[in-house]
Homo-oligomer: A and B are copies of this chain.
Amino acid sequence: MNITAAYTDLYQLTMAQVYFSTKHDGRVVFDYYYRNNPFDGGYSIFAGLEDLLDILENLKFSSSDLLFLEQHGFERAFLDYLRDFRFQGNIRSSKEGDVVFPTRPILQVEANIIEAQIIETLLLNILNFQTLIATKASRIRHSAKDGVLLDMGLRRAHATGGYYASRAAIIGGFDGTSNVKAAEAYNIPASGTMAHSFIQSYGDELEAFRDFAKVRPKNCVLLIDTYNTLKIGLPNAITVAKEMESRGEQLMGVRLDSGDLAYLSKRTRTILDEAGLGYVKIVASNQLDEYVIKSLKEQGAKIDIFGVGTNLVTGKPDASLGGVYKLSEYKGEPRIKLSENIIKVSLPYKKQVYRMIDQNGLFYGADAVGIYSEDKVNEMVHPFDSTKNLDISALKHEPLLESVMENGKRVVPFRTVSEIAEYSKSRMAKLPEEYKRFQNPHIYKIGLSNKLKQERDTLVRQHKT
């Protein structure tokens, strides 16, 4: 499956047909944002932007897309429009890898309404998923401290979604992936050990270990739990490690994939050390996530490398990020969507978001949202509670949305996944610890400029009368 412009919901095209036929094709602004942090956490890591820009620059309807739409009753003049369709709009975005928070725009699209609508599904599909996985990865990194983290999830990923999961995992703080295709495409470190089937195929575990170590002495990791970890697997691994030493080689590690990882890793460490194999690392896998790794660390488990699969690549338990794409301007006029639930009321206008930086260069704990044309925002007000406001005039204001695409062409240089991961790490270092904890994290403040709040409230009143 190649991504073409038909990678969208049918209603985008139905609406586009109406806009086209009635010449209701003004310029619009759409906001991308989400309403709640995933995993009951205190932040998210924004990811997927580079992929999105790449796809948008080359987006077209294929001839088979057009044939399909013709068979579905779309009219000739509109099909001709679609044949020449290119995304020619502007995008202003947070930097990929930045730490982001609910309710404030992460990205804004400014385009003809037809183009803005056709790309909606694709944009949400790419950004929601990668942001979910980068955030999960970041939480796992937080637990693992300086342990090595490897993504091993492809077999449980959502089909080809696993390809994007491996990319997002690196952005969130993972060190490598088992996914060869993703490693190749995104220039990510690839890594792998051995499966139980390798040992089973030999029947005799020691013979299997010996063959493996002879052919692949570099980065050799032996899986020691196929028959019995401490009684069979570990003694066999020690035998092979000693044989490798006699050839001037070193066994890199042993892997535990079942049982009590805290207990087994400590016993394994002791036994390896007593055998003079202090350099042999311990790799652990088996349904790990941020909570299991945190608990293993607290129990003093002796694990150097964590292999994380299903819980990472599926973003469990949330499995989705509810990012939305809401119209905020049409032909220069502000637009909002009402809701019975006040926190679901959208914000009108083209906007800018400012991050407050304290005197030490760290995040102060507040992002302020203002109308794009506004001067400096000196006070931010709570979006729904007008009794709460904050004087931000003395803080440094960092504008977060920067132009990344103009008239359908990228205007920022390509950034590699490792550059984005480095940037993300530097941003996470500026976020105080209390926003990172898993239990009841501190709530990062999002405020509006007085002008934006007044304009929004006026629009709400107009629609309610």
Question: Which of A's residues lie within 8 Å of B, judged by CB?
Answer: 1-4, 6-15, 17-19, 21-22, 24, 26, 28, 30, 64-65, 68-69, 72-73, 113, 117, 120-121, 124-126, 128-130, 152, 154-165, 178-181, 183-185, 190-198, 200-203, 211-212, 214-216, 218, 226-228, 258-259, 310, 314-317, 319-322, 325-327, 330, 333, 335-340, 344, 463
Task: Knowing A125-B154, A320-B316 are in contact, say whether A338-B26 is a contact too (CB < 8 A).
Answer: no
Chain B residues in 8 Å Cβ range of A2: 2
Report how far A216 CA is from B17 CA in the complex, Å: 8
**Is there contact, CB below 8 Å, between A156 and B320?**
yes
**Is there contact, CB below 8 Å, between B22 and A215?**
yes
Chain B residues in 8 Å Cβ range of A327: 196-197, 200-201
Residue of B nearest to A13 (CB): B180
Residue of B nearest to A205 (CB): B463
Chain B residues in 8 Å Cβ range of A14: 192-194, 216
Chain B residues in 8 Å Cβ range of A215: 17-18, 21-22
**Can you sample 19 A-B contacts with CB below 8 Å?**
A1-B160, A9-B178, A10-B183, A11-B192, A17-B216, A18-B211, A19-B201, A30-B197, A121-B155, A128-B156, A156-B320, A158-B158, A158-B164, A160-B161, A196-B326, A200-B336, A201-B327, A258-B340, A317-B319
Residue of B nearest to A69 (CB): B180
Report how far A202 CA is from B24 CA in the complex, Å: 8
**Is there contact, CB below 8 Å, between B463 and A195?**
no
Q: Contact partner of A335 among B9, B68, B121, B201, CB < 8 A?
A: B201
Chain B residues in 8 Å Cβ range of A183: 10, 68
Least CB distance from A308 to B in Å reads: 13
Residue of B nearest to A210 (CB): B22
Chain B residues in 8 Å Cβ range of A195: 11-12, 15, 117, 120
Chain B residues in 8 Å Cβ range of A126: 159
Report how far A356 CA is from B65 CA in the complex, Å: 45
**Is there contact, CB below 8 Å, between B68 and A184?**
yes
Chain B residues in 8 Å Cβ range of A160: 1, 3, 159-161, 163-164
Residue of B nearest to A220 (CB): B14
Q: Contact partner of A338 among B18, B226, B333, CB < 8 A?
A: B226
**Is there contact, CB below 8 Å, between B200 and A330?**
yes
Least CB distance from A63 to B in Å reads: 11
Task: Knowing A22-B215, A200-B327 are in contact, say whether A156-B124 is a contact too (CB < 8 A).
Answer: yes
**Is there contact, CB below 8 Å, between A121 and B154?**
yes
Least CB distance from A137 to B in Å reads: 14
**Is there contact, CB below 8 Å, between A198 and B130?**
no
**Is there contact, CB below 8 Å, between B155 and A163?**
no
**Is there contact, CB below 8 Å, between B163 and A335?**
no
Chain B residues in 8 Å Cβ range of A11: 178, 192-195
